């Protein structure tokens, strides 16, 4: 088998036609994981992978298989699998074992999926480079001196290096789409509430979404259709009745030219314009649009997110679970456990969020940020009266060098195109659109599209056209 070009759709057909077994497929990926060990993509490769695959083969032999039966995937370390370790790449949860399945995991388990292992990530999903993991950085498969993006860097790198056929990550401000762009794979952030967050370690509760990272748009759609749906265990989960069965192909692409003027790499911009031209040649209408409040999105995001982080991470106190450091009193134990357990970026965001929510600052910052978030959302809703999707580059640059961004603000700026989908709760996808050359290496870049709420089908339609022209 050629796992370099293998997709879920193709592997499903091959397994059903008995071209190879699930065990043989799993062994091929385990072998590739070992070859790519230096990328540091996996925090743990499960020791029962072959046993899982053997069980899948038994199901296939009886003709009872579902779509993911025997398909080997990886999963981000902040998504719970019962009986497996889950650390969110943090020392404070090192050794913690999940006591229940995330809803997404429950759904794909019923399909008979084979879990290869849990992937490395920025600690508690805070970062855009996977340099913030407590267990070492992840390297980009296209250039090992560069980052794979973040926070789902391990997941994206595992798919790009053919060390998993697909993966699941989480996206709070671009953490699926940006690493997908850097690694040359497809990343989908679904509509907020379309996929249950139950069993996902919370970072920003009003922004987090689980989504797939795959080699193709077809695979992303395949996985999305399995994991979407209402979940009574998640109060933010949307009722199934909200989904429309519209299947019309989008034809009008909105482009915000004023967002493309400053801070964007000229080669990335050239690739973006070339992709737009190719889509225009295929019958799409390219329309310039205005999003007046989008320029405030980054500031709004980095007020709301730290505030929610400060609240969500209060549960990690060194008492109930995870790392515990002895102290002379309870307050000292809290302080010591959190200081030793959390890394610098996590501590930075907790401190910032606590300040934002403190007396005298809540109204000045947090309340205004919530109001501005609505303005950004209204901008997009108005734009969608005249266009079907809004397009931007996924990231303003290709993958950057490890250690290149020492200033956290510079790192935050790499999220400028992705955060709006989380603020507006709209679905967005990153699709590979070509390469740019740096230091003799071809680095992937991505083309991002955002659609109205619950219009993932529009993204899949257009995404397949981008695959055809790229």
Give the count of beta carbons closer than 10 Å to the beta carbon of residue 324. Answer: 16
Which of 21, 74, 76, 196 is catalytic? The answer is 76
The pLDDT of 453-459, averaged and rounded, is 96
The pLDDT of 299-307, averaged and rounded, is 97
Does position 243 have pLDDT exceeding 80, yes or no? no
Residue pair 190/211 in contact by the 8 Å Cβ criterion: yes
Does position 465 have pLDDT exceeding 70, yes or no? yes
pLDDT of residue 142: 98
Mean pLDDT of the chain: 96
The pLDDT of 454-463, averaged and rounded, is 96
Task: Assess whether 175 carries a catalytic annotation.
Answer: yes
pLDDT of residue 345: 96
The pLDDT of 126-153, averaged and rounded, is 98
Which of 167, 175, 181, 237 is catalytic? The answer is 175
User: C-alpha angle with apex 190: 185 to 195, nearest 5 degrees?
Assistant: 120
Q: Which of 166, 127, 123 is nearest to 402 (CA)?
A: 127
pLDDT of residue 176: 98
Q: Which region holds residue 440: left if phi is over 0, alpha if psi is between -120 and 50, else beta?
A: left
- Name the packing angle between helices 22-35 and 8-16 (round to 10°): 140
Backbone angles phi, psi at 432, to 5 degrees: -55, 135
Does position 245 have pLDDT exceeding 90, yes or no? no
Quick: pLDDT tens for 9-66. 999 999 999 999 999 999 999 999 999 999 999 999 999 999 999 999 999 999 999 9
Q: Model-level pTM?
A: 0.97
Quick: pLDDT tens for 177-222. 999 999 999 999 999 999 999 999 999 999 999 999 999 999 999 9
Task: Assess whether 151 carries a catalytic annotation.
Answer: yes
Quick: pLDDT tens for 258-272. 899 888 999 999 999
pLDDT of residue 244: 72
Does position 406 have pLDDT exceeding 90, yes or no? no
Percent of the chain with pLDDT over 70: 100
pLDDT of residue 233: 98
Which of 87, 90, 128, 151 is catalytic? The answer is 151
Q: Which of 40, 45, 44, 46 is nearest to 136 (CA)?
A: 40
Is the backbone peptide bond immediately before 361 cis, with ω within 30 degrees of 0?
no
Backbone angles phi, psi at 102, to 5 degrees: -60, 150
pLDDT of residue 241: 87
The pLDDT of 328-344, averaged and rounded, is 91
pLDDT of residue 321: 78
Q: Which region holds residue 423: left if phi is over 0, alpha if psi is between -120 and 50, else beta?
A: alpha
DSSP, res 140: B
pLDDT of residue 170: 98
Query: Please, what CATH class does the domain formed by 1-470 belong to?
Result: alpha beta
Task: Assess whether 233 carries a catalytic annotation.
Answer: no
């Amino acid at each position: 088998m050629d796992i370099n070009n293998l997709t879920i759709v193709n592997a499903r057909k091959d397994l059903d036609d008995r071209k190879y077994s699930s065990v043989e497929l799993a062994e091929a990926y385990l072998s590739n994981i070992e070859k790519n060990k230096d990328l540091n993509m996996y925090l743990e490769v499960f020791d029962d992978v072959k046993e899982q695959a053997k069980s899948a083969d038994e199901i296939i032999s009886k003709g009872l298989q579902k779509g993911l039966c025997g398909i080997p995937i990886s999963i981000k370390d902040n998504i719970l699998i019962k009986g497996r370790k889950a650390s969110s790449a943090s020392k404070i949860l090192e050794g913690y074992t999940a006591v229940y399945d995330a809803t997404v995991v429950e759904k794909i388990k019923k399909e008979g999926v084979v879990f290869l292992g849990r992937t490395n990530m920025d600690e508690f999903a805070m970062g855009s480079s996977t340099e913030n993991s407590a267990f070492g950085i992840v390297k980009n498969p296209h250039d090992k001196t560069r980052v794979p993006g973040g926070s789902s860097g391990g997941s994206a790198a595992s798919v790009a290096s053919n060390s998993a056929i697909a993966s699941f990550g989480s996206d709070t401000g671009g953490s699926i789409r940006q690493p997908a762009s850097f690694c040359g794979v497809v990343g989908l952030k679904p509509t907020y509430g379309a996929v249950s967050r139950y069993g996902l370690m919370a970072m920003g509760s009003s922004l987090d979404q689980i989504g797939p990272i795959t080699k193709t748009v077809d695979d992303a759609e395949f996985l999305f259709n399995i994991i979407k749906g209402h979940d009574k265990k998640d109060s933010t989960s949307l009722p199934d009745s909200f989904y429309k069965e519209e299947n019309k192909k989008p034809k009008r692409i909105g482009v915000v030219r004023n967002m493309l003027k400053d801070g964007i790499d000229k080669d990335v911009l050239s690739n973006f314009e070339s992709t737009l031209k190719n889509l225009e040649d295929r019958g799409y209408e390219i329309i310039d649009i205005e999003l007046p409040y989008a320029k405030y999105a980054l500031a709004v995001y980095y007020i709301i997110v730290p505030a929610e982080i400060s609240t969500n991470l209060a549960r990690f106190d060194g008492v109930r679970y995870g790392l515990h450091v002895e102290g002379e009193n309870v307050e000292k134990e809290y302080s010591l456990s959190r200081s030793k357990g959390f890394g610098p970026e996590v501590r930075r965001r907790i401190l910032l969020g606590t300040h934002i929510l403190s007396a005298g600052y809540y109204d000045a910052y947090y309340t205004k940020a919530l109001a501005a978030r609505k303005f950004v959302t209204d901008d997009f809703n108005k734009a969608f009266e005249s266009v079907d999707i809004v397009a931007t580059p996924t990231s303003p640059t290709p993958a950057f060098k490890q250690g290149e961004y020492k200033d956290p603000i510079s790192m935050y700026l790499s999220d400028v195109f992705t955060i709006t989908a989380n603020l507006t709760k709209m679905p967005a996808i990153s699709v590979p659109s070509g390469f740019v050359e740096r230091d003799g290496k071809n680095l992937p870049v991505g083309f991002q599209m955002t659609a109205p709420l619950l219009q993932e089908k529009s993204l899949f339609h257009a995404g397949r056209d981008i695959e055809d022209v790229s």
